[in-house]
Homo-oligomer: A and B are copies of this chain.
Amino acid sequence: MALIVEKFGGSSVSNSERVKHVANIAAADYKRGDQVVMVVSAQGDTTDLLLKKAAEISSKASKRELDALMATGEQASAALMVIALEKLGCPAVSLCGWQVGIETDSTYGNARIQEVGTARLKAELAAGRIPVVAGFQGINYRNDITTIGRGGSDTTAVALAAALNADACKIYTDVDGVYSADPRDVKTAVKLYEIDYDEMLELATLGAKVLHNRAVEMAKRHGVKLEVLSSFQNHPGTKVREVTMEQKSISSVARDADVAAIRVNGLKTSEGKTSRLFSLLADKKVNVDMVFLRDGEEKSEVCFTVAQNNASTVVEVLCEHQEELMYEGFQVEEGVCKVSAVGLGMSSSAGVAAGIFEALYKARIPVKFITTSEIKVSILVNEEDGVKAAAAIHDLFF
């Protein structure tokens, strides 16, 4: 008898038919003899509709009240799921964050889970019921409702799996797993049946919106065995876990077109100007991604990438602080694209970067710049070359 936490996202419970459908998935596991804990998101666009109502009343709604408002979406979803489970003959019980005892800090809208109570869940499981937990929500020390940020139901599921020491945590979504590349870009992309936590983290950061980053981090920290799979198709998904065996150097290729490159000339890294620029950007919540820098007598320059909607903030910061930063000039390039190859085996396989360079050279794709880490190589190319570059790198390794 295994204990499984199963999370179903907004598209998996978007209407009554979908609720009934996914209730069947959990009911099948329950009837096979497993203990099942479900975590559900709000139905479809419920959260957006609630936020729209708040916006009709005030553009400056307090975050405490927005959290109390939004939490109703998951609560309703959980109750509806129990109603569907009961119809299938499975005893079940809906539980809000406060009923489970999901304690968070008080950062309304983006709270961190600090502690997960297990007494109520264990009592319900022992009574043979399926607890259906409202995802995305908790309570703080004041007994006030908090929410844990977009995609937070993934994190709720992993936190429950960790606290209950569950045998598996299944994240049901609208894609059927993690692929070696986006199948829309690369026809030869294959589904990965297994991936390491760190690889998944890099991919999540790279914009593969399959799993929430915080959920992956928490799963890694607590050794929770994750599986990403589709609630629409009955296929095995992708298992995310500690991968110890030898494996090929690259797991997956990701493409991210939401990138702007900024090139700042004459910025002296040796005089602390680069770190000053980056701390100014951090104050404005701008995440700096690929960084390339050269510092010298003749010519100093710093290149980096940011998300496209941050480019204007970078320009503002540069203009406001020109005197202090003492650079000569800057350019913003917007028609660019980042292609990344991720794989645990990369650091031990010589020549990965060289192979990538050669593949791109053969495909006549100019590389703007490249950064490497232990398990990732990212290259920046022109936007129109993105898909071709992803395919070329993918074909090299698969």
Of chain B, the residue at the smallest CB distance from A75 is B72
The quantity of this chain's copies bound in the complex is 2
Is A50's CB within 8 Å of the partner chain B?
Answer: yes
Is A54's CB within 8 Å of the partner chain B?
Answer: yes
A210 to chain B, nearest CB (A): 28
- Taking a contact as CB atoms under 8 Å apart, the answer to whether B86 and A62 are in contact is yes
A48 to chain B, nearest CB (A): 14
How would you classify the secondary structure of chain A's contact residues: helix, strand, loop or mixed? Answer: helix
- Taking a contact as CB atoms under 8 Å apart, the answer to whether A53 and B16 are in contact is yes
Q: Which of A92-100, A159-167, A211-219, A326-334 contacts B (4 or more CB under 8 A)?
A: A92-100
By a CB distance below 8 angstroms, the chain B residues around A64 are 93
Is A263's CB within 8 Å of the partner chain B?
Answer: no
- Taking a contact as CB atoms under 8 Å apart, the answer to whether B57 and A16 are in contact is yes
- Taking a contact as CB atoms under 8 Å apart, the answer to whether A57 and B84 are in contact is yes
A374 to chain B, nearest CB (A): 45
Evaluate whether A68 and B60 lie within 8 angstroms (CB atoms) in the complex, with A54-B83, A99-B143 already known. no
Is A19's CB within 8 Å of the partner chain B?
Answer: yes
By a CB distance below 8 angstroms, the chain B residues around A20 are 57
A80 to B58, CA, bound (A): 9
- Taking a contact as CB atoms under 8 Å apart, the answer to whether B76 and A72 are in contact is yes
- Taking a contact as CB atoms under 8 Å apart, the answer to whether B69 and A87 are in contact is no
Is A317's CB within 8 Å of the partner chain B?
Answer: no
A259 to B76, CA, bound (A): 37
By a CB distance below 8 angstroms, the chain B residues around A62 are 82-83, 86
Is A201's CB within 8 Å of the partner chain B?
Answer: no
- Taking a contact as CB atoms under 8 Å apart, the answer to whether B87 and A57 are in contact is yes
- Taking a contact as CB atoms under 8 Å apart, the answer to whether B76 and A60 are in contact is no
Is A258's CB within 8 Å of the partner chain B?
Answer: no
Evaluate whether A61 and B78 lie within 8 angstroms (CB atoms) in the complex, with A16-B53, A94-B68, A99-B143 already known. no
A93 to B65, CA, bound (A): 8
A71 to B78, CA, bound (A): 13
- Taking a contact as CB atoms under 8 Å apart, the answer to whether B94 and A56 are in contact is no
Pick the contact of A66 from B16, B79, B93 — CB < 8 Å? Answer: B79
Of chain B, the residue at the smallest CB distance from A98 is B98
By a CB distance below 8 angstroms, the chain B residues around A75 are 68-69, 71-72, 75
Of chain B, the residue at the smallest CB distance from A69 is B79
By a CB distance below 8 angstroms, the chain B residues around A69 are 75-76, 79-80, 83
Binary per-residue interface labels of chain A (27-60) against chain B in the complex, 1 for a CB within 8 Å, 0 otherwise: 0000000000000000000000010011011101
- Taking a contact as CB atoms under 8 Å apart, the answer to whether A83 and B61 are in contact is yes
A82 to B79, CA, bound (A): 25
A84 to B59, CA, bound (A): 10
- Taking a contact as CB atoms under 8 Å apart, the answer to whether B93 and A80 are in contact is no
By a CB distance below 8 angstroms, the chain B residues around A73 are 72
- Taking a contact as CB atoms under 8 Å apart, the answer to whether B80 and A57 are in contact is yes
Contacts A54-B83, A58-B87 aside, 15 further interface pairs with beta carbons under 8 A come to: A16-B53, A20-B57, A50-B76, A58-B86, A61-B83, A65-B82, A65-B86, A66-B83, A68-B96, A69-B75, A69-B80, A71-B75, A99-B143, A99-B144, A120-B143
* Top-8 shortest CB links A-B: A72-B72, A16-B56, A69-B79, A58-B87, A68-B79, A61-B83, A65-B79, A65-B82
Can you identify 22 A-B contacts, CB atoms within 8 angstroms?
A16-B56, A16-B57, A20-B57, A50-B76, A53-B76, A53-B80, A54-B80, A54-B83, A57-B80, A57-B84, A58-B84, A62-B83, A65-B79, A65-B80, A65-B94, A66-B79, A68-B75, A68-B79, A68-B82, A69-B75, A98-B98, A120-B143
